Amino acid sequence: MVAPRGRLRERPYRPERVLVTGASGYVGALIAARLLADGECALVLPVRAPSRETLIQRLKLELDAQGLAWEQAVPRVHILDWPGAGESGDGLAHWADQLEDSGVDTIVHCAGCLDYFDSASLELVNVQLTGDLIALGRRISARRFVYVSTAYSGGYRQDEIPETLLPEPECDPTEYTRTKRRAEWLVAESGLPWVVLRPSILIGESASGRYSGKRYGLYQQWMGLERLMTDRYHPVIHTVAPERPLNLVHQDSFQAAFSAALAWLPDAAVCNLVSENDSAPSMRDLWNLWIEVVRPEEIRYYPSFPSVNLRAIDIRQRAYLTFAQVNLEIGAHRWRFARGWIEALAARGLAFESATAASVLRCQERFVASSQVLARYRERFAERFPAHTRITEVEDHARTATAL
């Protein structure tokens, strides 16, 4: 265990009225529901008019999972019209006037842009909006500003990612990680009492596998396979699957850790909200689970994306690999994360179940059970499924085969 910088608070931080940005999205809804289930604090939820109904439906879903009815929670929920990222001048000033009258004492900033390739939107939402909210936080004298970043904000580096603010790396996986890192620095230099939380890739609940987000991360991979590789039976599948840990976090563990972090982390804490490094499944583990679903005769594992001769493989498999290229490259890197704060919170009573191959399997089984496409595929081609799938390692054009 690498000890975090500082100690947990002697007394828990208890907000009275919390502004949560991004509550109509996946992470924001998880946080808003947990805040409502935890106690008596009220929430102010800014949302653009077209997303108001989406926000309410998401909250109902997540509150139900927390054992709290919407009717019980709604008196503590104030939905505020939000002008949107990029607004300035009179529009933002009017919004700030509403906040000043709302009694908000805590800001939890979850809103963000996830588009890897839209640099303008990433800069606008992840950086500029964070700066605008910091200015609002100063105006209302917020007692705490919590920024939800990403575990990958450190970029590609060979050593363990520490629980500190991070310098510029030699290379970033995407513009997304660069803008999240920049926003972390803005928060740290804001003059407000702050905490930065860095979750890794969120997946479904640890026990049930229930997942309530959009198909990002691992679900994007499963969706790509579902859409692009079930048109017919593929006797040979080509993919990149290095044996390096891929850190995943169950959404219920994320909620529990957020709650504990808000209550007990000191000001100026950076928390890598991640599973245990040694328990994390590798991309190879995840593919071994998936081939039990589609059951090819052979799977050829490549060590990296450039090692695949795309012109020599099936066009749909080529489309999948191209579609998943960025995530496959991220998965091929050896990520290691300091976990001092999570371990300190666990010692204080946090129940946090790290993701493992077995717990990811529960999420995959739920995804497969919900897919009519996969059900039809398995019905059509079950007679062609082999007793065992042959595994071929492809490395520097040398191939060796073993049995699964």
Same domain, 175 and 232: no
pTM as predicted: 0.92
Alpha-carbon span 35 to 404, nearest angstrom: 45
Looking at the structure of the chain, the number of domains it has is: 2
Same domain, 138 and 33: yes
CATH of the domain at 34: 3.40.50.720
DSSP state of 302: E
- Domain containing 173 equals 17-202+248-274
Alpha-carbon separation of residue 124 from 49, 50, 106 (angstroms): 20, 20, 23
Same domain, 28 and 167: yes
Same domain, 166 and 77: yes
Lookup: tokens for 349: 């009573």
Same domain, 255 and 373: no
DSSP state of 126: I
Same domain, 230 and 338: yes
Beta-bridge partner residues of 18 = 43, 106
- Could you read off the pLDDT tens digit of each residue along the chain, which spans 404 residues? 455 667 999 999 999 999 999 999 999 999 999 999 998 899 999 988 888 899 999 999 999 999 999 999 999 999 988 776 555 444 456 667 777 777 899 999 999 888 877 889 999 989 999 999 999 999 999 999 999 999 999 999 889 999 999 999 888 888 999 999 999 999 999 999 999 999 999 999 999 999 998 888 899 889 989 988 898 999 999 999 888 889 999 999 999 999 999 999 999 999 999 999 889 999 899 999 999 999 999 999 998 888 898 888 989 888 888 888 887 788 778 889 999 999 999 999 999 999 999 999 999 999 999 999 999 999 999 999 999 999 999 975 434 444 44
Neighbours of 376 (CB within 10 A): 11
In a domain, 62, yes or no: yes
Q: Which of 323, 363, 306 is nearest to 229 (CA)?
A: 323
**pLDDT for the residue numbered 370:** 95
In a domain, 127, yes or no: yes
**pLDDT for the residue numbered 184:** 97
**pLDDT for the residue numbered 31:** 97
Helix (H, G, I), strand (E, B) or coil at 394: strand
Alpha-carbon span 55 to 45, nearest angstrom: 9
Alpha-carbon span 55 to 7, nearest angstrom: 36
Same domain, 180 and 238: no
